[in-house]
Structure 1
Amino acid sequence: MSGTDLERAARYPDAVDVAIVGSGPTGAAYARILSEEAPGLTIAMFEAGPTVSDPPGAHVKNIEDPDRRAAAQRASEGPGAGADTVDSPGAVKSGERRARPGTFLLADGYAFPGEDGLPVAAMSTNVGGMAAHWTAACPRPSGSERIAFLPDLDDLLGEADRLLGVTTDAFDGSPFGAVVRERLAAAVDEGRVPATQVQRMPLAVHRREDGRLVWSGSDVVLGDASRENANFHLVDESLVRRVLVEDGRAAGVEVRDVRTGETHRVRARAVVVAADALRTPQLLWASGIRPDALGRYLNDQAQVVFASRIRDAERLVPESNGAHGAREQVAAEGALSEQSGVSWVPFTDDVPFHGQIMQLDASPVPLAVDDPVVPGSIVGLGLFCAKDLQRDDRVEFADDATDAYGLPAMRIHYRLTERDHEVIDRAREEIVRLGAAVGDPLDPRPFTMPLGASLHYQGTTRMGPVDDGESVCGPDSEVWAAPGVFVAGNGVIPTATACNPTLTSVAVAIRGARKIASDLASESA
């Protein structure tokens, strides 16, 4: 056998116990739990995109060199790399279709006449998935956001905290954080139970011994248990084009080596599809797994943003919470930095939006040249709205057209209902009230982001307690129509959430991984 043949054989085994499609946080959660609870199982993880960080799956914010960070983002943009739809600072407010660095937009099929569509529905293609680019916010769901038929949800959320490395103290040294929370609490907390009162945002962020921030990506979720598991292999630039099903059960995957164009078949006893909320149903459809609920109940979180300047910031700097020389530190162009703090206004059923309040080191709107910004004194407020779930909000797949990856082209049908518009109007009023409570608004009017901007798409492979045609998978994430096939990611969440969904989707993935570990172990016994 030649050296090239040996390399190909190493990249693509003939058979494994578990094939995982996608390397984002939920795919990584499957690998981690299986490595911890069933280390004897062989696992192959296939990722269509390249490795853009070291270690693989790390957050690009941890890349200190700006040129290398930008190169990692470009490499994550798949077919959108170099397109004029990639964002530049402030471009989202121009009314143009723009994607954030590291992501790409659908070329077409994102809206149809008479519908709202999701004009900025975005994806990324790289080892680590969107976890290489996310804001790392990990709030817990509350009220109707919770999945009521999962009795162990709180335990699963706790495990998800562990895998993601969630903390609440990473920004305790930022100036004005306590001031922001105190002012928000005075405007919000009355009548709320402690769990839904203003608090620090749980973040998948920690500090190294030298004090620098480290943002969690899939590398943190994988952990040492996966990396040290000789039975786990991550294969990048490998596009899974079909899940193989035999006698109604999972049998493996068909994967194309992006580097060579060659196609391989890898047998598997279980297959986990963790592509994202748009590409997971796409792959199932391409594989002939087409339950009635597939792609339906698509939901995004409409997002309203606003900005204020903390009142009396100049006077408060010496008294701020650990400012430690804030004025001398270098700004980070509006990004979360050492000056930042992130506060949380939780969702309630009576107030159906979730607030993510971030202190910025620069103003998002132009200020006078002689009007300097005290670091951390600009507060960006964002309210995410829970969707009025509709079965007809959906992603469909064309039988006569393909996308850049050769898979069935996506067609998104999406409408805001009257109730959605009412909630967005309420959010616009509320965000102005919160902005005034914190400080002096920089612009009198809030801005409603283009639909799809949240990146929190859900529902397309939704979980249900029974197979009644309204769900794709059961409580363990196993697809009703194809036993042995499991789905993962935000698309599995069946509820209308306003909070960032990653913690919940990782929690649900943990349950599915435990199911696989138990089933395959018993089959081998």
Structure 2
Amino acid sequence: MPRSASGFPDEVDVAIVGSGPAGAAYARALSELAPQLRLAVFEAGPLISDPPGTHVKNIVDPEQRARAQRASEGPRPIAEAVSTDTMDDYASDQPTLQRPGTFLLEKTRQRASEDGLPAAAMSSNVGGMGAHWTGACPRPGDSEVIDFLPELTDWLGEAERLLGVSADVLADAPFADEVRKRLSVTLDHDRPRDRQIQPMPMAVRRTPDGQLLWCGADMVFGDATRTNPNFSLHAEALVTQVLLAEDGQGEQSEQGGRAVRGVRARDRRTDTEHQVAARYVVVAGDSLRTPQLLYASGVRPTALGRYLNDQPQLVYAVRMRDLPDLPPTPDDGVGVTASSGVAWVPFTDAHPYHGQVMQLDASPVPLADDDLAPGSVVGLGWFCAKDLRAEDRIAFRDDELDGYGMPAMDIHYRLTEADHAAIDGARTEILHAAAALGEPLDDTPPLLFPAGASLHYQGTVRMGAIDDGTSVCDPTSQVWGVHGLFVAGNGVIPTATACNPTLTSVALAVGGARSIAAAES
């Protein structure tokens, strides 16, 4: 691929902005379906692992893992002295919650009449949040499903292939079956068979020697992308603008709208700017920075940044009762032992919550008893679907820039009466589930995390069946009225979900990539 002196290509067919799971899915699918296309991925953050995009849990050396997490924390990393143990302060009662490998919005500007998103956080590194996530990949159900996509089931299956999803890898853990049995007796009586208690599908695999490997963007890229001579990856390359053909200039869409002609990128190592011509641009950032880039590029449909939704999250912990003794099991270095498992309580419209129950040797709450059997402390996390409103939005400022020199963000966000009712229902259900499993560790009630702590933001560049002002992109993820401009990531999901969104966002990326490949065939 021809390159300028900067190392950036002068011209590509597809420029992908963002190297997380959704951006990686575009690169992988296009490498497999249209290998003749020249692809370039631009990532604002640094390269933190080899191969690129590796999950930090797979970095064996703890000091190297800590350096990778710190390097992912944006313009102002957490102080070196602060622990990078992801369980530290996990369930402490604090107004914000920042996990290692992420950074908070610089200013939340929470209004007195609003709830805001005080814990809204992002990651900047090759692999994006896919280098730090939990790996849970449940399929959406009932009203979580995008009903105007007949291909969605097929796309979800392909997403499971790219992410290496398995429901079996932790399903046979010694206590896992007992957890599922107890939950099933309590919760399954009015659930459809396919939405009953079951092992959580996880983007995790076990090596022949028993080691757990967590899927990051490296697995999604795969060998098909890494060996593609038409593919290049550029770290510390901040895309500041999608370049568009103005009316009467360059390629126009069949509908007479605008069309992409490339991107402007800043090499953050040399502080120099470069233009890269492209026929397609895929903006695959997170749900905050994807609409930010569109706004900075003058692409400002009515729904841009709107329908912002987080998943209210409750956590609780119990000590399981009446468990058999197990021999000691080795820790894999990241808090998971051979006795651990993850049970899934699926979302249904009758029970509009998503639950995941994890056996933890490092409890998410302080333990009074240090003599606990490995695997006997069970952490419960319940997520609620948000009441979707156009008023919940990101507003971008023309008079202030963030740490990357992009338009600063103002968050407008409020929990409605329906949201509070859902949270109350989830609190009741999590206590019901906990009682079936064992005894609470203390008299602390379930903790509601600060808004934004789920890291599951969605909706800000949402997909729609028609261009009626309530969506940003069409069913192929192409932005309405801008030929060749695609959006990707959790922000594309238009439904109110409670389940972890990564599988769905990767599935939508598969659909978008297939539409590009079909147009080039």
1:56 and 2:52 are equivalent in the alignment: yes
Q: Of 231, 244, 250, which aligns to 2:260?
A: 250
The 3-state SS of whatever aligns with 1:511 is helix
Query: Counterparts of 1:31-110 in structure 2 under 5 Å?
Result: 31-82=27-78, 89-90=88-89, 92-110=91-109
> Residue 8 of structure 1: CA displacement?
5.2
- From the superposition, tell whether residues 229 and 331 of structure 1 become closer, same or farther in structure 2 (CA, over 3 Å): closer
The 3-state SS of whatever aligns with 1:356 is strand
- From the superposition, tell whether residues 317 and 110 of structure 1 become closer, same or farther in structure 2 (CA, over 3 Å): farther
> Residue 124 of structure 1: CA displacement?
0.1
Match of 1:261 in 2: 271
The 3-state SS of whatever aligns with 2:15 is strand
Q: Deviations over 1:313-339 (max 9, x none)?
A: 2xx135xxxxxx3x2534857x33333
**Partner AA of 1:306 in structure 2:** Y
Query: Is the CA contact 1:175–1:340 (under 8 Å) kept in the aligned structure 2?
Result: yes
Match of 1:152 in 2: 151
Match of 1:23 in 2: 19
- From the superposition, tell whether residues 85 and 210 of structure 1 become closer, same or farther in structure 2 (CA, over 3 Å): closer
In 2, distance between residues paired with 1:520 and 1:160?
22
> Residue 93 of structure 1: CA displacement?
1.5
Match of 2:322 in 1: 312
In 2, distance between residues paired with 1:519 and 1:102?
38
1:278 and 2:277 are equivalent in the alignment: no
The 3-state SS of whatever aligns with 1:174 is coil
Match of 1:458 in 2: 458
- From the superposition, tell whether residues 168 and 110 of structure 1 become closer, same or farther in structure 2 (CA, over 3 Å): farther
The 3-state SS of whatever aligns with 2:483 is coil
> Residue 110 of structure 1: CA displacement?
4.9
In 2, distance between residues paired with 1:230 and 1:268?
17
Match of 2:253 in 1: none
Query: Counterparts of 1:96-175 in structure 2 under 5 Å?
Result: 96-175=95-174
Match of 1:321 in 2: none
Query: Counterparts of 1:117-516 in structure 2 under 5 Å?
Result: 117-247=116-246, 248-313=258-323, 316-318=324-326, 325=327, 327-330=328-331, 335-368=335-368, 371-444=370-443, 445-516=445-516
> Residue 113 of structure 1: CA displacement?
2.0
Segment of structure 1 superposing worse, 488-497 or 208-217: 208-217
In 2, distance between residues paired with 1:317 and 1:240?
55
The 3-state SS of whatever aligns with 1:93 is coil
In 2, distance between residues paired with 1:174 and 1:11?
48
> Residue 209 of structure 1: CA displacement?
1.7
- From the superposition, tell whether residues 68 and 187 of structure 1 become closer, same or farther in structure 2 (CA, over 3 Å): same
- From the superposition, tell whether residues 86 and 251 of structure 1 become closer, same or farther in structure 2 (CA, over 3 Å): farther
> TM-score if structure 2 supplies the norm length?
0.94
**Partner AA of 1:510 in structure 2:** V
The 3-state SS of whatever aligns with 1:275 is coil
In 1, distance between residues paired with 2:109 and 2:73?
18
In 1, distance between residues paired with 2:375 and 2:515?
45
- From the superposition, tell whether residues 475 and 331 of structure 1 become closer, same or farther in structure 2 (CA, over 3 Å): closer
Query: Is the CA contact 2:55–2:215 (under 8 Å) kept in the aligned structure 1?
Result: yes
Segment of structure 1 superposing worse, 249-258 or 208-217: 208-217
Query: Is the CA contact 1:85–1:99 (under 8 Å) kept in the aligned structure 2?
Result: no
In 2, distance between residues paired with 1:365 and 1:292?
43
Match of 2:249 in 1: none
In 2, distance between residues paired with 1:76 and 1:337?
26
In 2, distance between residues paired with 1:330 and 1:234?
34
Segment of structure 1 superposing worse, 410-419 or 102-111: 102-111
> Residue 280 of structure 1: CA displacement?
0.1
The 3-state SS of whatever aligns with 1:292 is coil
- From the superposition, tell whether residues 328 and 515 of structure 1 become closer, same or farther in structure 2 (CA, over 3 Å): closer
In 2, distance between residues paired with 1:26 and 1:368?
42
> Residue 91 of structure 1: CA displacement?
5.8
**Partner AA of 2:70 in structure 1:** R
> Residue 87 of structure 1: CA displacement?
7.3
> Residue 191 of structure 1: CA displacement?
1.9
Match of 2:252 in 1: none
> Residue 346 of structure 1: CA displacement?
0.1
In 1, distance between residues paired with 2:171 and 2:109?
41
- From the superposition, tell whether residues 507 and 148 of structure 1 become closer, same or farther in structure 2 (CA, over 3 Å): same
- From the superposition, tell whether residues 128 and 110 of structure 1 become closer, same or farther in structure 2 (CA, over 3 Å): farther
Match of 2:254 in 1: none
Match of 1:322 in 2: none
Query: Is the CA contact 2:108–2:118 (under 8 Å) kept in the aligned structure 1?
Result: no
In 1, distance between residues paired with 2:28 and 2:466?
28
**Partner AA of 1:25 in structure 2:** P
> Residue 365 of structure 1: CA displacement?
2.9
> Residue 94 of structure 1: CA displacement?
3.5
> Residue 420 of structure 1: CA displacement?
0.2
Higher helix share: 1
The 3-state SS of whatever aligns with 1:317 is coil
> Residue 363 of structure 1: CA displacement?
2.8
> Residue 173 of structure 1: CA displacement?
4.4
The 3-state SS of whatever aligns with 2:363 is coil
In 1, distance between residues paired with 2:211 and 2:399?
51
In 1, distance between residues paired with 2:350 and 2:93?
33
**Partner AA of 1:509 in structure 2:** A
- From the superposition, tell whether residues 231 and 60 of structure 1 become closer, same or farther in structure 2 (CA, over 3 Å): same
The 3-state SS of whatever aligns with 2:285 is coil
The 3-state SS of whatever aligns with 1:79 is coil
The 3-state SS of whatever aligns with 2:515 is helix
In 2, distance between residues paired with 1:85 and 1:476?
43
In 2, distance between residues paired with 1:86 and 1:256?
32
Segment of structure 1 superposing worse, 87-96 or 351-360: 87-96
In 1, distance between residues paired with 2:331 and 2:36?
49
In 1, distance between residues paired with 2:329 and 2:347?
37
**Unaligned 5+ runs, structure 2:** 247-257
**Partner AA of 2:56 in structure 1:** V
- From the superposition, tell whether residues 91 and 193 of structure 1 become closer, same or farther in structure 2 (CA, over 3 Å): closer
Segment of structure 1 superposing worse, 267-276 or 186-195: 186-195
Query: Is the CA contact 1:302–1:385 (under 8 Å) kept in the aligned structure 2?
Result: yes
The 3-state SS of whatever aligns with 1:35 is helix
Query: Is the CA contact 1:57–1:128 (under 8 Å) kept in the aligned structure 2?
Result: yes
> Residue 516 of structure 1: CA displacement?
0.9
> Residue 92 of structure 1: CA displacement?
4.8
Query: Is the CA contact 2:329–2:339 (under 8 Å) kept in the aligned structure 1?
Result: no
> Residue 372 of structure 1: CA displacement?
0.8
Query: Is the CA contact 2:140–2:497 (under 8 Å) kept in the aligned structure 1?
Result: yes
**Partner AA of 1:33 in structure 2:** A
Query: Is the CA contact 2:306–2:391 (under 8 Å) kept in the aligned structure 1?
Result: yes
Segment of structure 1 superposing worse, 82-91 or 115-124: 82-91
- From the superposition, tell whether residues 86 and 372 of structure 1 become closer, same or farther in structure 2 (CA, over 3 Å): closer
**Unaligned 5+ runs, structure 1:** 1-5, 319-324
> Residue 368 of structure 1: CA displacement?
3.6
